[in-house]
Amino acid sequence: MTDETNSYDVVILGGGSGGYAAAFRATELGLSVALIEKDKLGGTCLHRGCIPTKALLHAGEVADLAREGEQFGVQVGFNGIDMKGVNAYKDSVVSRLFRGLQGLFKANKVTVFEGEGRLVGPTTVEVNGQRVTGRNLILATGSYSKSLPGLDVDGERVITSEHALNLDHVPSSVVILGGGVIGCEFASAWKSFGVDVTIIEALPRLLPPEDEQSSKALERAFRKRGITFKTGKPFETVERTDSGVKITIQGGETFEAELLLVAVGRGPTTANLGYEEQGLNMERGFVLTDDRLRTNLPNVYAVGDIVPGLQLAHRGFGHGIFVAEEIAGLNPAPIDENGIPRITYTSPEVSSVGLTEARARELYGDGVQTLTYDLAGNGKSQILKTSGFVKLVRAPEGPVVGVHMVGDRISELSSEAQLIYNWEAFPAEVAQLIHPHPTQSEGLGEAHLALAGKPLHVHG
């Protein structure tokens, strides 16, 4: 019989964005919570993903500003990148956030078991020889960097994003396998550091899930920045050379570089955790759930990257809160996955919420309306010397169902874009809101004014 002290209302396997959000919300709602984490609380996002990557990207932005200060009338010099200093800055950001998170675990009175957990019963996890049972179980085991068959990641010349975040020097050249979010973000940061970068993407364009107009805009910007990319060309082989690696793509074209970064996406961390043995419904390693994030096992839920869909920290965070409220009987509204903001923190940034134009036309037919507002007409964008656009996709005579944006710092507009999509706003409703001047948010306002039939600074 399970020891009474190891019985809880909620047991959570995994302490990343989804797991800790569920833990904190559940304790707020008066439930007793145990969380099992084999590594550090905060998971991939805090330690090996979002936070350290964005710190690198910001360091790259500072490097670009130092190089280009003259165009703003500022006399500065660029003397190079000190990777020791960059890593110290990056690590200090992570460690401050980690300390804060540890404090929140104490404040919320979450019982944490450090160690590798494994499912040994419908809602029982074994960790360090102890059994922890919950009335409810939340699976939040996250994801890992995938590779390709026949591609041996050695952590030295062939690396993943985790290795890339801990490089102690600036490589002279890198080939990046994969033109999705991770590949494009590293390409952007490394180019700012002075690295010779080439991206290989098997699909026809960079950022394949984004609206085609956004992909094309990023491709133009990357060409201008001197980032080389080959799209529609699958990788074939890699071999070690005296100076690094030699990569061959379909058609026989070869590329040589110091490093190969494998950025072909992330897979669900679900193997060897007892999931299959307990009869959990799974597909390609992902845990299948309904729209209330329930698995096929009673009182067992799954959240975040192990659930098919977007692999985003803030999606896991939203899932965690939802499931805690579901367990507490609050009957929360299901999450519309299309309404989750998607951001690629390149230079320029790419941000979107809702449907692409192509998807909207599939669903609604030829009556779909689109409007693109060029940031050339936006005062703040001119001050920042950034180009890009705000593109709206509208259902026939209906609400705005897609917002797509490209430009430096444009990610800050994703929250308003999310409200527009999720509250099913009509163009005329957004048009009557007053956007502060001078900000890039005026781009959203101008686009909706135009789509509502009363263009101010835009025609067409």
As annotated, the binding site for FAD includes 54, 117, 141-143
Helix axis angle for 181-192 and 212-225, nearest 10°, is 20
Neighbour tally for 437: CB within 10 Å? 11
Exposure of 98 by Cβ count < 10 A (0-12 exposed, 13-18 middle, 19+ buried)? middle
For residue 38, give the 3-state DSSP assignment. coil
Q: Which residues contact 362 (CB under 8 A, 6 or more apart)?
A: none
Q: Which helix (H) or strand (E) holds 105?
A: helix 83-107
Annotated binding site for NAD(+): 178-185, 201, 265, 305
In this structure, the number of other CB atoms found within 10 A of the CB of residue 419 comes to 13
DSSP state of 293: -
User: CB of 16 within 8 A of CB of 140?
Assistant: yes
153 near 316, Cβ under 8 Å?
A: no
Cα separations (Å) of 6 from 19, 102, 166, 195, 227? 18, 21, 38, 52, 54
Binding-site residues from annotation: 54, 117, 141-143, 178-185, 201, 265, 305
Cα gap 370→368, rounded to integer Å: 7
Helices (H), 113-255: 161-164, 181-192, 212-225
CA angle 388, 394, 400 (to 5 degrees): 85
Residue 137: Cβ within 10 Å count: 26
Distance (Å, rounded) from C-alpha 229 to C-alpha 255? 11
Read off the DSSP letter of residue 243.
S
Q: How many CA atoms lie within 13 A of 125 on its CB side?
A: 34
DSSP one-letter string for 315-382: HHHHHHHHHHHHHTT--PPPP-GGGS-EEE-SSSEEEEEE--HHHHHHHHGGG-EEEEEEGGG-HHHH
Which residues are the active-site residues?
A: 437
